[in-house]
Structure 1
Amino acid sequence: MISTRSTIVGTDAVADAARAIHHEIYLGPDGEAVEPFISRTTTWQHLRTLDLRPNMRVLEVGTGSGYSAAIMGHIVGQGGHVLTIDSDAALSARTRRLFVEHGHRAIAATGNGLVGFPGRAPYDRISVAATPPAIPGAWIDQLSRGGVLVTGCTVSDLPGAYAVAHIVKTPTDDLHATVHASRYRQMGPPVVPSNVTVVADPDYPRHYLASASDDYEAATEFLTLLRAGTPAPWPGAPGEFLDLKHWLLARRPRGLFTARTEHGEGIGIGDKAATSFGLAARHGGSPEAVMITPTHLVAHPQGSPTWARFLDLMDDWRAEGSRATHELDAVVLRYGDSYRVRLDD
């Protein structure tokens, strides 16, 4: 059974709406959560980033329990409009019934959320508490000028580079983005671009390493090293990992990779040691790899030049004030019929 004891903090519109809309209404039988489940705390945080106001028109992609749409409907009021769309017809029907039974101001529709809901566009706010493979152009097209889209996103071609984007559409149709260190569930399987090399451990398929290099052999060697490395405790403060990870994705140092091993999911760099004649790795140097995870720093061999270079990168991040993800520059790039958010150093 889901606890109903989350504390509502604040006197803003979201807090006031949360006090008015009883969460337990939207739980399933026996008080169980409706899948996909998002905690109330995460829901409130997400809704606050939308900066909802009375009389706004809102599209929500992914209905879930219907709780967040009910909250939004309370905030925008009688002069506003909230439509939540989901591909699950049964979920939409359940939510529609609850809205009617309890007089909550929202509409539940069934459909493909990736194409939005053009019949009621444009929208002042579009809310997506999930991560699409790429941001559909339909969402941007249906966003009003001055409107805000909040959605999960990827900020790199490398797997595992998840974040949440706050995108504003200007009066001239430009797109300005701020990225936050959070992560939402994926909408469908991840798509790995052809410019990324991914290797997996044949004995443990969930363990992988992904690099922007086309050197498959080197990537395989780096993954082997990481699995053999001795983990040391993560040298940073709790909660800093995602900010450092996103800073590295923005900086894009030589040999950057993302990986998952038994030590966790992380980010690191790999390189080849110079030979005694100072020749580059591909001419005979031995491989070196180092990775940081939320709990560990893994390097092999310990004390290598690559290990030292990674520590220098961490020092650079510290020297910049341990920049948080939302302090990094972000750009929204169009790729055909979709958009991608990328961090820029």
Structure 2
Amino acid sequence: MSKSVQIKNISKNYGTYQAAKNISFDINDNEFFTLLGPSGCGKTTLLRMIAGFETASSGTIKLHGRDIHQLPAHKRRVNTVFQNYALFPHMTLEQNIDFGLEMCKWDKKKRKERVKEMLELVHMEEFSKRYPSQLSGGQQQRIALARALAPEPEVLLLDEPLSALDLKLRQAMRDELLTLQRKTGITFIFVTHDQEEALAMSDRICVLAGGSIQQLDTPINIYENPSNKFVADFIGETNFFPVDVIDINEKTISIQTPLGIDLTIPNLAKTTISVGNNVTMSLRPEKIYINKPENGPELAGKVASRNYMGGYTHYSIALDNGQSLKVSKRNSVSNDVSYEIQQPVKLSFSPESVRVLSE
């Protein structure tokens, strides 16, 4: 598969602080690739180095095989959509889109055709004569995207472009972004701290923490098979328990848990785990059933708290042995069963849903 961007041994130092630590990865052509992590993890620094706004302290960046890490930003066929959109307030929407094309020395006729094409692409043709201040946040976002896509960049960089929008609009814009990426075939590199955004849109996700890659994989693998405790904790909700490894082979791992049960689970560990190791057990709340027998262990307890969230009800269950578990129950039918505070319940789950993780 052809590579759009190749990052090799990239580091970025600000004095004694390392924002990026010897990072390497490839991004495929036509891929929706997301850099995900908490504030200060290095994701925006990486994006700015690809854009040319920052220079790497060491390492190389290639765009379709060409080394660009010393190339000025304006000479890279890379465009950026910023969190605040950065539209020119004194220009109409069509003038905003046309500006970059004029800077690239496109001829007037071709520019006019391209502006029209971009306005149609983002469904904003009827607003072409308006100014940014006359638009909603979602409309400004569309124009910022149209302006960035107009010069036909090889890669589009998106620096938390949805964070200023309200929840419903953010969800709608996710679908629009993904549709735009599929229509144009341009490689998108998306930066966010929002796990749901990353899972919903990405072909692959690179999870970062402390300037290093924690895991690079598909959304499904990152959620279902996190490589360590940080990833499991950062991506969604989970229950953690310290466990001891009592047996291990190529196919299974047997663990002793503080839930009062021993479990034998599939050996999916991506790190070296040995008998006697202290590791962490992870069990997602939605993998646990309430009062529904499952082919696995059964635990007794009482409902300690309940939080109704529409599609799901989230429970905290106080187990009889003193431990507690977070459980998410999908409300699959109207007026579905709801469990009351202090109501006795029995929990069950499949051992195949359990993961053991290193730090």
Report the TM-score when normalising by structure 1. 0.31
Larger Rg: 2
Q: Kindly indicate whether structure 1 or structure 2 has the higher relative contact order, using CA contacts under 8 Å at least 6 residues apart.
A: 2
- In terms of fraction of residues, the more strand-rich structure is 2
